[in-house]
Structure 1
Amino acid sequence: MTRSSTASATSARSHSATSAQRIFEHTVVFDEFEGRGLAGIHNSTALNTSVQAGHRIVAVCPYVKRCLSTHRDFDDATGPVNPEHLRALR
Structure 2
Amino acid sequence: MATFTEIKNQVEEKIKNIKSFKIGKTGQQMKDRFDNKYKDEYSNYEELGWSNERNVIDNAEEFLIKEFINNMKCKNEQIGSGEMKESKKYIIYIVWN
* Structure ranking higher on relative contact order (CA contacts 8 Å, 6+ apart): 2
Quick check: which one's helix share is greater?
1
Tell me the TM-score normalized by structure 2.
0.35
Tell me the TM-score normalized by structure 1.
0.37
